[in-house]
């Protein structure tokens, strides 16, 4: 795992643990002041208003600040993403004991109205909550879906000796974070071989070692990755690039120069993930009844299944099954070849304004983009985002005649994008579509996502720009 990714992961853990330790103190206080609990253990009752005392409230903030620092000092965060339970438990227990001792000293010094029993209950709750969080994350990271979404597939590029050294280094120190999809010999292999490997394996990075290779060939590899929107991790000096931004990182103690033409890992990316998950969840709850009504109408008005599934190209070109409400006749794919002459979009994409395959109900669903609602499940599964380039069918992506067009695959596809809110009914050249997608990628921020989402609302409600 790159050091930048590791730092973001650690900071997310620290923020979560700070909240869990503060919650543990509140739960311990609530349990200790509960009459049923005190009567059962024959303890002295404490007034409920003690929990809202100013001195006790300040302890919540102190715990939130101190807990992550203490856990870090015990080596709790210095571990792989998928960690052994034995290596997790003892640092957690030691950290909880140290925090508890500090909490007792603070309560004694500031004369906070908290009985001694709270500290013992706090240890149990803090260990239990943090342990439960780690168990949930462990189960999630080991699931097949998580491995497919978060495991980074890379290609090693260099001489045979260098790629062998890198392979050994990665296998020994990076666990399940990285998967080596293949090796590319800089000295003997043609660039076309690397292009085919990038497309075949849907990789997210190429790790290049130029120690014993010609620098001109290394530069060609970096430029090729730049065009494709794939990260290049270089253990070498700078090279001139047109789009990609160079940044320093570290991999297992080895300095790297990362040439990136896509948004890098940041807190804004974490905010985007949270926005995607909770936004999709909220929209599904709100749209549950309308979606059931749409499903019933589709079933009543035309023969065939309610849902339409199709293989689309996702992040780095990896195929996934997209969900949509069926808006066409069941033999739509067979009729597509007969309508090829009616295609209104240049390039590999097929678009027809008055498509005869669309059902009467389908025209209404398409006009207001209601057929896209099931894609909220794709967002929850991590295959799509709320905002991003629209996913294209796998067969259309294979027909890209310009490698630069593949850079639109370097971010997750989305439900809406700049193309959706920029008068898509007026765009007939696929290059203009790609230009808008690359403009989104090059200027991405969480605020741009929020702006596009706000601009999407009137477009959907008014049914403007739909085909």
Q: Are residues 36 and 100 in the same domain?
A: yes
Beta-bridge partner residues of 258: 233, 247
- Residue 248's pLDDT band (cuts 50, 70, 90): confident
Q: What is the pLDDT of residue 164?
A: 87
Q: What is the mean pLDDT of residues 101-124?
A: 74
Q: Are residues 290 and 422 in the same domain?
A: yes
Beta-bridge partner residues of 158: 185
Q: What is the pLDDT of residue 277?
A: 93
Cβ–Cβ under 8 Å, residues 176 and 81: yes
Indicate if the pLDDT at residue 146 is higher than 70: no
Does the residue 87 lie in any domain?
A: yes
Higher pLDDT: 156 or 465? It is 156
Cβ–Cβ under 8 Å, residues 204 and 153: yes
Average pLDDT score, the chain: 82
Indicate if the pLDDT at residue 287 is higher than 90: yes
- Residue 352's pLDDT band (cuts 50, 70, 90): confident
Does the residue 321 lie in any domain?
A: yes
Q: Are residues 26 and 67 in the same domain?
A: yes
Q: Are residues 452 and 305 in the same domain?
A: yes
CATH of the domain at 249: 3.40.50.720
- Residue 135's pLDDT band (cuts 50, 70, 90): confident
Indicate if the pLDDT at residue 354 is higher than 90: no
What span, in angstroms and rounded, lies between the C-alpha atoms of 127 and 110?
Answer: 25
- Residue 466's pLDDT band (cuts 50, 70, 90): low
Does the residue 467 lie in any domain?
A: no
Does the residue 84 lie in any domain?
A: yes
Q: Are residues 347 and 457 in the same domain?
A: yes
Higher pLDDT: 183 or 461? It is 183
Closest of 27, 194, 230 to residue 126, by C-alpha: 27
- Residue 389's pLDDT band (cuts 50, 70, 90): very high
What span, in angstroms and rounded, lies between the C-alpha atoms of 114 and 104?
Answer: 9
Q: What is the pLDDT of residue 161?
A: 83
Q: What is the pLDDT of residue 390?
A: 92
Q: Are residues 318 and 458 in the same domain?
A: yes
Report in angstroms the alpha-carbon separations of 141 from 35, 82, 176, 178, 252. 41, 7, 10, 13, 21
CB atoms within 10 A of CB 455: 14
Q: What is the pLDDT of residue 53?
A: 61
User: Which residues neighbour 196 within 8 Å (Cβ) at sequence distance 6 or greater?
Assistant: none
Q: What is the pLDDT of residue 314?
A: 92
What span, in angstroms and rounded, lies between the C-alpha atoms of 351 and 401?
Answer: 18
Q: Are residues 111 and 186 in the same domain?
A: no
Q: Is 78 helix (H, G, I), strand (E, B) or coil?
A: coil
In this predicted model, what pLDDT tens digit does every residue of 75-109 receive, in sequence order? 888 766 555 666 778 888 888 888 888 877 877 77
Total domain count for the chain? 3
Cβ–Cβ under 8 Å, residues 187 and 214: yes
The residue from 116, 142, 168 where one domain ends is 142
CB atoms within 10 A of CB 103: 25
Does the residue 187 lie in any domain?
A: yes
What span, in angstroms and rounded, lies between the C-alpha atoms of 171 and 166?
Answer: 9
Q: Are residues 386 and 301 in the same domain?
A: yes
In this predicted model, what pLDDT tens digit does every residue of 364-378 receive, in sequence order? 998 888 999 999 999
Closest of 123, 149, 134, 122 to residue 77, by C-alpha: 134
What span, in angstroms and rounded, lies between the C-alpha atoms of 16 and 295?
Answer: 39
What span, in angstroms and rounded, lies between the C-alpha atoms of 151 and 145?
Answer: 10
Q: What is the pLDDT of residue 212?
A: 58
Q: What is the pLDDT of residue 267?
A: 83
- Residue 308's pLDDT band (cuts 50, 70, 90): very high
The residue from 114, 142, 170 where one domain ends is 142
pTM of the entire predicted model? 0.72
Q: Is 236 helix (H, G, I), strand (E, B) or coil?
A: coil
Q: Are residues 307 and 434 in the same domain?
A: yes
Percentage, residues of the chain above pLDDT 70: 84
Q: What is the mean pLDDT of residues 115-129?
A: 81
Does the residue 354 lie in any domain?
A: yes
Cβ–Cβ under 8 Å, residues 456 and 373: no
Residue that has been written with the tokens 């931004």 in this structure: 245
What span, in angstroms and rounded, lies between the C-alpha atoms of 131 and 450?
Answer: 35
Residue 301, CB-side half-sphere exposure with 13 Å CA sphere: 19
What span, in angstroms and rounded, lies between the C-alpha atoms of 266 and 157?
Answer: 27
Q: Are residues 91 and 134 in the same domain?
A: yes
- Residue 440's pLDDT band (cuts 50, 70, 90): very high
Domain that holds residue 120: 3-142
- Residue 274's pLDDT band (cuts 50, 70, 90): very high
Q: What is the pLDDT of residue 215?
A: 76
Q: What is the pLDDT of residue 323?
A: 95
Cβ–Cβ under 8 Å, residues 59 and 122: no
User: Which residues neighbour 430 within 8 Å (Cβ) at sequence distance 6 or greater?
Assistant: 345, 346, 347, 348, 349, 405
Q: Are residues 330 and 296 in the same domain?
A: yes
Annotate 381-411 with DSSP letters as a single string. TTS-EEESPPPPBHHHHHT-S-GGGGGGGGS
Q: What is the pLDDT of residue 46?
A: 63
Question: How would you classify the pairing of strands 152-158 and 205-209?
Answer: parallel
Indicate if the pLDDT at residue 353 is higher than 80: no
Question: How would you classify the pairing of strands 152-158 and 319-325?
Answer: unpaired
Q: Is 249 helix (H, G, I), strand (E, B) or coil?
A: strand
The residue from 243, 260, 277 where one domain ends is 260
In this predicted model, what pLDDT tens digit does every residue of 5-60 receive, in sequence order? 778 888 888 899 999 988 888 888 777 776 676 666 666 666 555 555 666 677 77
Q: Are residues 91 and 180 in the same domain?
A: no
In this predicted model, what pLDDT tens digit does every residue of 193-242 receive, in sequence order? 998 899 888 888 899 887 655 778 888 888 899 888 898 888 765 566 77
Percentage, residues of the chain above pLDDT 90: 24
Higher pLDDT: 313 or 145? It is 313
Beta-bridge partner residues of 416: 387
Give 75's DSSP letter: T
């Amino acid at each position: 795992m790159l050091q930048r990714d590791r730092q973001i992961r650690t900071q997310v853990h620290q923020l979560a643990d700070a909240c869990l330790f503060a919650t543990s103190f509140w739960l311990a206080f609530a349990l200790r002041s509960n009459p049923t609990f005190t009567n059962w253990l024959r303890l002295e009752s404490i007034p409920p208003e003690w929990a809202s005392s100013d001195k006790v409230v300040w302890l919540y903030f102190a715990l939130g600040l101190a807990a992550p620092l203490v856990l870090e000092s015990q080596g709790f965060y210095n571990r792989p993403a998928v960690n052994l339970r034995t290596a997790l438990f003892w640092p957690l227990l030691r950290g909880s004991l140290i925090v508890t001792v500090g909490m007792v000293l603070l309560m004694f010094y500031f004369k906070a109205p908290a009985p001694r029993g709270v500290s013992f209950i706090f240890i149990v709750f803090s260990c239990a909550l943090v342990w439960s969080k780690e168990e949930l994350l462990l189960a999630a990271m080991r699931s097949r879906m998580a491995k497919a979404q978060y495991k980074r597939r890379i290609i090693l590029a260099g001489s045979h000796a260098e790629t062998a050294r890198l392979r050994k280094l990665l296998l020994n120190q990076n666990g399940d974070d990285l998967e080596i999809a293949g090796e590319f010999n800089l000295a003997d292999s043609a660039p076309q071989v690397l292009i085919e490997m990038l497309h075949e394996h849907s990789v997210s990075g190429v790790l290049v070692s130029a120690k014993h290779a010609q620098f001109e060939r290394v530069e060609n590899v970096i430029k090729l990755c730049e065009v494709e929107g794939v990260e290049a991790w270089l253990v070498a000096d700078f090279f001139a690039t047109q789009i990609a931004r160079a940044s320093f990182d570290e991999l297992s103690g080895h300095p790297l120069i990362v040439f990136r033409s896509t948004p890098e890992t940041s807190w804004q990316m974490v905010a985007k993930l949270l926005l995607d998950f909770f936004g999709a969840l909220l929209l599904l709850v709100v749209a549950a009844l309308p979606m059931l009504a749409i499903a019933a109408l589709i079933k009543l008005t035309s023969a065939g299944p309610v849902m339409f599934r199709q293989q689309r190209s996702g992040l780095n070109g990896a195929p996934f099954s997209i969900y949509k409400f069926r808006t066409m006749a069941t033999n739509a794919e067979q009729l597509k070849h007969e309508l090829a002459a009616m295609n209104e979009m240049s390039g590999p994409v097929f678009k027809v304004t008055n498509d005869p395959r669309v059902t009467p109900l389908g025209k209404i669903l398409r006009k207001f983009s209601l057929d896209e609602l099931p894609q909220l499940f794709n967002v929850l599964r991590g295959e799509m985002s709320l905002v991003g380039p629209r996913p294209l069918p796998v067969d259309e992506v294979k027909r890209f005649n310009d490698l630069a067009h593949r850079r639109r695959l370097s971010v997750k596809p989305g439900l809406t994008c700049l193309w959706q809110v920029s008068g898509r009914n007026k765009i007939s050249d696929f290059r203009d579509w790609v230009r808008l997608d690359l403009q989104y990628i090059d200027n991405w921020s969480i605020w741009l996502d929020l702006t596009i989402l706000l601009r999407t609302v009137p477009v959907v409600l008014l049914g403007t720009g739909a085909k």
